Each structure stands twice: as structure tokens, then as C-alpha cells.
A and B are shown apart, each in its own frame.
Chain A
Amino acid sequence: MSARDLFTFHNRHFRSGVGITAAILIVTAIAGFIVLPFAQPWVQFANVWDAICSAAGVPQRAANVAAPEQTRRLSEVVLTSHTLSRPSQEAIGRGATLAQRCAICHGPTGISRADSPNLAGQYAAVIYKELHDFRSGARTNAVMSPFAVNLTDQEIADLSNYYAYLPRLPAYHPTPQLPKPNIVIYGAPMRGIAPCGSCHGALDNKTGSPWLEGQSEAYMKAQLQAFASGERRNDISQQMRNIARAMTPQEIEQAAAYYASQPPDVVKAVD
């Protein structure tokens, strides 16, 4: 008894085993690659080969339909794991010098007194993305855009590292901390809204999402409304626009008020 006795067509088990398996494979292949594709009257195939390629999932060039023209610029920021890693002291220092021109709105210590975002201790990736978007025009603001338009890549990285380096100070107008509203911790699953906290902190953080604790309530409300109306559109894959559109005005109020009332030192140190 050896493999030679088994792997031969003289052995009936080999004959039937291989034969039945091959027969099933051939029958299912004919059904799956030829019969069933043609059984779909709503799909047209040029020939049998075309049907087989389609059923096999051969990557095909899409039909000659021009992609819709983008009337507005989209965010083009690319962030790799090396973009902002390990800033040097020198880079932070350069960022500090550059940041003097930001101080008028964002405050000399990165804490705003003008309902602009507090930048002290904000994630570097967030500042990096927003500055890029302001520069490219993916995000526009009458006051901010002119500041960003002439920044170089290096300057944007330096500024991001500088602000990320600053300590998170308490917000300027601390209010009593509010309890977590549903929209922040549960979201609204039936309307497809993920909890705010699953990207913006409190539960978890996603790269590119800012922490929001202690930010200006008026600013956050304005941004949510801008996302909802489509006025702001630098969110990738419309993720914030889809959420903001589905939020009720009351939920927008609650989320903004909740985050504004939180001290920034509760932000989870994850970096």
C-alpha cells in the first residue's frame, strides 16, 4: 500500500473522488460564470468571455462617464505616521515665532478670548489639517484664510507642533460642568449618528478629530450649522456633514454647551 497505488486511475476511490469533485466544480463554474450572468436580463454582455470576466470580478475600467466636476475644492491633506512625528525643539521654537501673528484671535497662550478655537494642546494633526485646508481653499473664512494662504508646508508643520506642545489651560470662561447629553455618549443610532465622543474624545479619539473640551460654545454651534448647511465642506467623505445634517437644533445646542462646559484637562492623554 503506497501513494502509488492510490494516486492512479486504476484505484476506483481515486477515480470517483477526483471525478466527482471535478464534475461538481465544472458544473458550478458553468452555472456561476456563464448561465447566471446571462440570466440577468438587466445586464448586457458582449460575448461569453465578457460574462466570464464579469463574474470572475476582473477589474474593469468604468464606462465612459466623466466624473462630476468639483465646483468646490476638497481637502487634500495626507497624513502619514511620519508627518508630525518627534518634533524638534527648534521646530517648536519656529512655530512659536510664527504663532505671534495668530495670537490676536487665538490668544497669546493659545486660549482664545474671541470665540475662536483654543489651540493650546490641540492635536498636531488637527491644526495641520485645518491650516492646509485654509491654504488650499477647502475651508474658507474671511479672517482666517488670508493668514493661511501664504504659509509653507514647513511653517504649517511647525505651527502644529508648537500648539500641540502648549499646555492645555482651563478655558477663559469656565462654566459649571454639564452632564453628558445622549448625543455625545450614545449618538442617535436610528438616524445614523455616531456619538460625538467616539471621535472627539470622552470615549475615543480618531486621527484628525479635535478634542473639543472648553472650546467656545458659539464657535462649535456655528461649525455644526455650517456643516449642516453645506457651507463648510472640508470633512473627508462628508462624515461631519452627514452627522450635522441629521442632528436636531436641540442636539446641536446640547453638544456645543456640553463640550464648552468641560475643562480641557479632562482630555485623555493618548499621545
Chain B
Amino acid sequence: MLANRKLILAHFWLAFAVFGVALTLGAWQMFIRSPIGTWLSNPELYYRSLTAHGTVMGYVFPTLVAMAFGYAISESALEQRLVGVRWAWTGFWLIVIGSIMAVIPIALGRASVLYTFYPPLIGNVFYYLGVVLVVVGSWIWVALMSINLHVWRKAHPGAAVPLAMYANVAGSYLWAWTALGAALELLLQIIPVAAGLKATIDAGLARVFFSWTLHAIVYFWLMPTYIAYYTIVPRAIGGRVYSDSMARISFILFLVVAMPIGMHHTFGDPQVGAGFKFIHSAFTALVALPTLLTVFTICASVEIAARLRGGRGLFGWMRALPWDNPMMLALAFSFIMLGFGGAGGLINMSYQLDASIHNTQWITGHFHLIFGGAIVIMYFAIAYDLWPHLTGRELIDLRMIRTQLWLWFVGMMVTTFPWHWVGILGMPRRMAYFDFGDPAIAPQALSVTLSAIGGFILLTSGILFLVILARGMRTPQADAGPYRFALAVHQQATVPLALNTHALWVALMIALTLTNYGYPILTLALTEGTSVPAVFVGAQ
């Protein structure tokens, strides 16, 4: 029962359209700084492209996917029409306007600050205002998710909230709270300088604010993927969720511990005390827990499907899985990339190990593998799964879908593995140019070339994805029936209060933010003489 298909489709199409543009820019960047590209002699163009790529891929694309998926979940899991459709459209248009507002200064070369802002670099004020509008648009979605759940609860007192919606609202609360860090940085620090009201900026404080957002944002990106693991994959391959409670606990853990860990991004920063770095490091280790729980639960759920299909033996059941089902394929690829990416993440969060890869290409490889790989491949799967319900038409060419998923997986491996490797060799990130003629880095030319080839495989896959979706708008009409989510092996009629509501976990999330961020932010804000002159991009 998807009543507001147009709303959901609009979000998806905008998301995938900007994704296509940003993906093209990404491939071009890989090419132009690799030994096979002829250097265009202008790093400014490179950073312009990098800023656009990051801003779209980091803020616009995943937010729109989460919103579209969230609206779809709200309507289908709760089986009630979306409350506040006008507000939802307002949020959508805010994102459209914000994106345009941000992209124009980037294209003009007035905001080449990268999506992580990097104060004291300061770009055109409209770039930041655009990003703020995107975030405000998404906050409307957060409010709507909460309101829709509230309305449903009133109509169904005491009933168990469907897992998909429970997780969806958890994700929206996480986003609301984590986006606050970057919002504070923008509103209190960067925008006053960009608007010409101040000439200096406390770069250290700004970086701490950004770390508040920077890590948990990854878990916000991850939420749709995990929701798909739990609530779509088992149904699509003919199985059941091994444990509904385990799923809820995983999402709760994300809510509580994804937030107070961002300072592992500032291990190299002198303005943060080592004690706080340690606490953040320890809590980052904890965030591996919900992922391990998820991997266990999903593997068990998949095994159920395999055994239902006649699979036998300790590992022999794997052969019985429906490997020609795109959802199965996407899950397997996603897990492999999550495994490698997660292992790399454990290195990043370790205070000492981080020292050897901090600010190297390893980091870029890492987040592309996790986000671009494990997460985005499930975005594709979500789109494929929802498309027939949104368009009322069937996606016929499964072979093409499988090819697309294969290409994305292979492309991501070919791109990110050499990327990690050159990072270990010490190649710094955020560089527009490398002189591969220099004997010191000439041996890395091969790895970087491979990486660039991977970039083009990804581009091919991305184009194929858009083609499949576009063709899916033209196939003959077919009723896909109501959109359903996976059922648990033991479907519970009632769920303990703590696992059916978010209040306790949101309270813990806020409390941990105060304990882990309160003191560093307060001291930095109250210490005199910590500001430095702003460096304006494209200004003389």
C-alpha cells in the first residue's frame, strides 16, 4: 500500500540523478590524477570537482535515499497513509533549492573547500546556506517519521511497532542529533565568517563540531542498508528473520554508540585531550558490536532460507541459495565489502594504528569501500525491490540487474584495494597531483592506474543502474501487490516497552554526547586566543 508513490519516486529519482553526476565527477578525478591522465595543470578544477562529488555523495544522495525509503516504510509497514504529505514535499523542495544553491558557488570555484569544510578555509556563504537547507529539509523528514509513528501508536495502543519502522525512526533520530554538530559548526562558526561578520575562526573547535557529525553520519547512511538486510533480504530470498529482538537491539546499539565516537577522526588534532581520544576510541570499538550481531543474524536468516529450499550440510546449504536473485547477490557483495571495510575501520579507530594511515589514501579507500560499496550496493537493491511497487511496472531484465551488481562489486574492489595499498605506502589524500615520474613514488603508479580503471567500471555500473530504472518506467503495467517486509521466525505479538520505543536510547545517546563531547567543546569555546584568520577561497 504505497499511496504517495510520486513523492517517493521524486526523492529516488533526484537521489539517483545527482548520484550519476557525482559518480562521473569521481571517475574523472580518479583518472586525472592517475598516471594515465594528462594533468590539466589546474588543481583548482580538481578541488572544485572533489567538493561537488563529496557534497552530493555525502549530504544529498544518501539523505534522499533514506527519506524515500523512510516514506515507503512508513506507508507500507504501518499500513497507513503518510501524515503530512505537504510537509514532505516542502522538505523535498528545500533539498532541491539547497542543492542548487550549494552547487552554483562550487561550479564557479568559490567554494572549493571539500564537503568536510576544512576551516579556516572559507568559501562562498551560499554554499554553506545550501547545505543548511538540505539538512533542514531532511529534519522535516525526521519530524514526519516521528509523527507518523505517533499517529500509528495511538491507533494501535500497545501493539509491536513493525521492525522496519522501528529501525527507520531510530535512523531518523540518529540523523537529527548527529546533524546538529555540523549545523552548529556552520551557524556559529563558518557562516558568520563567510558572511563577512567575522574575519577569524576557531578551526579547532570547528573540527570538533564536525567530528560530532562526521562519524555518526556514516551510520545514518548505513541505516537503509541495515533495514534492507533485516526486512527485505529474508523475504526476497524466501526466508525469515532469525530474531526480531536481535534486530531491534542492533538498531538501538547504533543509536546509542554511533554518536559519541567521532573524535577518532581527530586523533591527529592537538586541541583534543588524549583521554577523550581514548574514550572515543573505546566506544568506536563498541560500534562493531551491532554490525557483528547483524552479520550473525542475517547469516542465520539466510541459512533458514537455504534449508527451506532443501540445503543440507554444514556449509553445503550455501549452494541451495537463490544466487540468481539480485537481492541475494547484493547481500553477498555487501557483506564481503562490509567485512573488508569493517576490518579497515578497526585499524582507523585504534589510536596507535591510525598513526600509520592517518590522512593517507587508505582513509579514502576505506570510506569508499564501506559507503560506496557495502552501503550503496544495498541502495541499488532497495531501489530494485521497490521499483515495481512505485511504478506499477515490472523490472524484467534480471540478467542486466545482476550484471550491474557484479560490475559495482568488482569495480569497488578494483578501486579501493589499490587505494588502501598506496595509503599504507604513505600516499597522502586530498592531493590533486602526483608526479609519478619521481622515483620515490613511481612504483605506486601501477596501483593508482588500477584504481582509476576501477573507477570507470563503477561509472559503467552506475550508468547501467540508471538505464535499468529508466527502462523500468516503460515496461507493461503489472500489479506488484502490497509491499511486504520479512517476518521473523518467531513473530512476536508484543515487544518489551524498551524495544518498542526510542526514548530511553535517545536519552542515552544525548547523555553520552554530553559526557564525551561536553568538556572538549566547552574548553575550546571558552579559551581565548584560539581563533585563526580565515582563508577565503577564490578571494584576493
Contact = CB atoms under 8 A, between A and B. Distances in A.
A195 interface: yes
Interface string B426-468: 0000010111001011000000000000000000000000000
A1 B511 CA distance: 23
A46 B498 CA distance: 46
Contacts of A120: none
A9 interface: no
B540 A207 contact: yes
A210 to B, nearest CB: 10
A189 interface: yes
Interface in B26-46: 39, 41-44
B275 A203 contact: no
B58 interface: no
A52 B199 contact: no
Contacts of B256: 17, 21
A32 B540 contact: no
Contact of B497 (A6, A190, A195, A198): A6
Interface in A1-19: 1, 3, 5-7, 11, 13-14, 17-18
Interface stretch (B276-284, B308-316, B337-345): B276-284
A37 interface: yes
B435 A13 contact: no
Contacts of A180: 41
A6 B43 CA distance: 56
Interface string A9-44: 001011001100100110011011100110000000
Interface stretch (B98-106, B408-416, B515-523): B515-523
Nearest to A18: B508
Interface stretch (B65-73, B143-151, B476-484, B499-507): B499-507
Interface string A196-210: 001000011111000
Contacts of A56: 273, 275-276, 519, 523
B512 interface: yes
B527 A55 contact: no
Interface string B367-403: 0000000000000000000000000000000000000
A195 B433 CA distance: 10
A57 B283 CA distance: 19
A28 B42 CA distance: 47
Interface in B257-312: 271-279, 282-283, 286
B155 interface: no
A270 interface: yes
A186 B275 contact: no
A58 interface: yes
B497 A1 contact: yes
A205 B440 CA distance: 30
A252 interface: no
Listed residue (B279, B501, B520) with the most chain A CB atoms within 10 angstroms of its CB: B279
Nearest to A2: B497
Nearest to B260: A25
Count class of interface residues, chain B: 35 or more
Interface of A is mostly: helix
B287 to A, nearest CB: 12
B272 A207 contact: no
B539 A6 contact: no
B540 A271 contact: yes
Contacts of B274: 32, 36-37, 54-55, 57
Contacts of B535: 206-207
B196 A81 contact: yes
Contacts of A103: none
A195 to B, nearest CB: 7
B286 A14 contact: no
A6 B500 CA distance: 11
A123 interface: yes
A169 interface: no
B498 A32 contact: no
A52 B497 contact: no
Contacts of B511: 21
A21 B508 contact: yes
Contacts of B42: 185, 203
A176 interface: no
Contacts of B501: 1, 6
Contacts of A57: 271-276, 520, 523
B485 interface: no
A17 B275 contact: no
B209 interface: no
Contacts of B43: 195, 198, 203-204
A37 B275 contact: yes
Contacts of A25: 279, 512, 515
A157 interface: no
Contacts of A33: 275
B278 A13 contact: no
A166 interface: no
Contacts of B283: 24, 28
A57 B280 CA distance: 14
A189 B275 contact: no
A80 interface: yes
A31 B119 CA distance: 32
Given A1-B497, A189-B434, A17 B505 contact: yes
B276 A14 contact: no
Contact of B279 (A21, A29, A80): A29
A99 interface: no
Contact of B498 (A11, A52, A59, A125): A11
10 contacts: A24-B282, A24-B286, A28-B278, A57-B271, A80-B199, A186-B39, A190-B440, A203-B42, A203-B44, A205-B540
Interface of A: 1, 3, 5-7, 11, 13-14, 17-18, 21, 24-25, 28-29, 31-33, 36-37, 52, 54-59, 80-81, 123, 125, 180, 182, 185-186, 188-190, 195, 198, 203-207, 270-271
Interface of B: 39, 41-44, 157-158, 196, 199, 256, 271-279, 282-283, 286, 431, 433-435, 438, 440-441, 496-501, 503-505, 507-508, 511-512, 515, 519-520, 523, 527, 535-536, 538-540
Given A21-B511, A56-B273, A190-B438, 19 more contacts: A6-B498, A17-B508, A21-B256, A21-B508, A21-B512, A24-B286, A32-B276, A36-B274, A55-B275, A56-B276, A58-B523, A59-B523, A186-B433, A189-B438, A190-B435, A195-B43, A205-B540, A206-B535, A207-B535
- A-B interface, 5 closest residue pairs, ranked by CB to CB distance from nearest: A57-B273, A55-B275, A13-B498, A32-B278, A32-B275
